[in-house]
Structure 1
């Protein structure tokens, strides 16, 4: 198992290196010259060629691209992501301030998703031809079909403006968390319910489940003790991928609810043409996603005996 974990860590190193290359290239090869973008952010639209040339020299844009990348990577390895071109704040410090809000929203959404999806998926697998099974399957189909931005606006209209029960935006107590977490959690739950159903149906047809039934074990024991553990493997994989996406910043939902996380910071920085902040946010999102997938791979080693034996 140690060999398996070491191999995954080794591979993640190259994934993160690839993230740095993609992040750097995306910003530097985007339409428009980076020195002009930075000059506009600093001096406004009324630019002189001397100001653009000054930015080009001071920021090192006159050097070959690979030299620029090596210099930027050197700063990244020293945890220096530069300063905001708009506010002059330290990029890493600003992201660190925003990250707890994104983490709170991500884990709350994941808990809501799994709390709904796992019981619903089990019920649908066991009672696939019953009315309750059809009800949950229809609900999951509707959930998959509804876009996050539309569901978020619908919840704001219903619970904030019509019923006046919950705030429509901002970051504060648990009341501010409910609407964005439910928006993300229910859409994830719809997909996870269908995945849980498929995984449970596959496991329930295995020979060891038939043997357990032949031994006279009750259905509750068979499902919860024998079937669910093996059915959880693909669910954990999907949940890990979703958590990586959420921790990286759910851009649309954070923007709709003015939730001060990384996703909202990224959108605001794009509108402000804050070159350094956008680059830092994209890098942190990519690294977070890679590390979350690494954690899922390690969890697999503990949950799946086949990996341990190999």
Structure 2
């Protein structure tokens, strides 16, 4: 008697389902990590600012009589225990309230919304410059490995990364404002362009969008001309990082087994570089972009000061000189949020590009 055995039911989840589940868990975990990251940064900034004493005394000490100073300290609650101040500060931050500046009595949120778009615009310009310069040159260096062009590009990358931002900015101002006066070296646009953008009804704070909304090509050109030197100054700093990273990863990918197999089938080196080696080498580059955003925001402080680009970096220096630690605390906290969210977005892009990135 023959016994028929029913096929066993599959005991494992299909690969596609597992992949989607792994991607969902990965993105959820990366999103949830934003909150402890921001909390740690905000707490660190709060404690560092309070290590100098209360903000009222730091900013107005010696400028007000002792009784008025004590009255303002009490009104602001800076004479209460540090734990009470910390918990109240966290509660305000959760509600989007970063306090009021001491030196000019403005809500910190108003400062952030007014000047934050300028810093964001500069960082995006600089990132475009870094990608347009660093990635193609990195591919050229990888294709000409250990040749003269490769050596020259590597040295240039090191110099670009090692050059202080303020020095590069001053050098570019000297060249393009004194020796070859072809580009503006201060502000984000001329006064006439700013007035035209304000009267056009568009007020995004990102001058390129506002200039495009006017429909006047001359205003668009004016905005872009003002952005060239700050963007190049800040972008070259990161371009050196991208150049070396692209070169290293493309060379490593060209040495893998599947590329060697394609080479043995007669695939040309140019095609290997373009189709076989480029995409796998792209994943580490996307990951590093998130780290470079933090570098760009840090470099924006010096770049904005050098070119009088009225952004958060420019205002941060202003408030530091005024010892207005409430404003400094709010600006740094907002920059921390921007960096954390940017890193999450980069993680999402990297996970979509590389299916190996899963939990």
Bin the TM-score by the shorter chain: over 0.9
Query: Does 2:126 align with 1:126?
Result: no
SS at match of 1:307: coil
Report deviation, 1:144: 2.5
Residue 31 (structure 2) pairs with residue 9 (structure 1): yes
Q: Deviations over 1:36-60 (max 9, x none)?
A: 12444xxxx3433222321221111
Equivalent residue for 1:36, pick from 44, 49, 57:
57
CA distance in 2, matches of 1:207, 1:143: 34
1:97 aligns with 2:97: no
Q: In 2, Cα distance between the equivalents of 1:128 and 1:16? A: 42
Give me the whole-angstrom Cα distance separating, in 2, the residues matched to 1:240 and 1:160: 33
Q: CA RMSD in A?
A: 1.6
Q: Which TM-score applies when normalising by structure 2?
A: 0.81
Match of 2:313 among 260, 263, 268: 263
Distance 1:277 1:46, change over 3 A: closer
1:176-199 alpha-carbon deviations (Å, 9 max, x no partner): 100010011112111211111111
In 2: Cα distance, 1:233 partner to 1:25 partner: 37
> What is the match of residue 335 of structure 2?
285
TM-score, normalised relative to structure 1 = 0.93
1:38 and 1:55 in contact (8 A); partners too = no
**1:244 deviation in Å?**
3.3
The answer (yes or no) to whether the contact 1:167–1:175 under 8 Å persists in 2 is yes
Contact kept, 8 Å, 2:177 with 2:183, in 1: the verdict is: yes
| 2:88 match | 71
Alpha carbons 1:39, 1:51 under 8 Å: kept = no
Q: Distance in 2 between matches of 1:145 and 1:305?
A: 35
- Superposed CA offset, 1:146-203 (max 9, x none): 2211111000000012211011111111111000100111121112111111111111
Evaluate the alpha carbon distance shift between residue 205 and residue 63 of structure 1 in structure 2; reply closer, same or farther with a 3 A threshold.
Answer: same
Q: Which residue of 2 aligns with 1:194?
A: 244
Gaps of 5+ in 2: 1-22, 190-222
For the pair shown, the structure with the greater C-alpha radius of gyration is: 2
Q: Quick check: 1:248–1:262 contact (8 Å CA) kept in 2?
A: no
How far the C-alpha of 1:247 sits from its partner, in A, is 4.3
1:273 aligns with 2:332: no
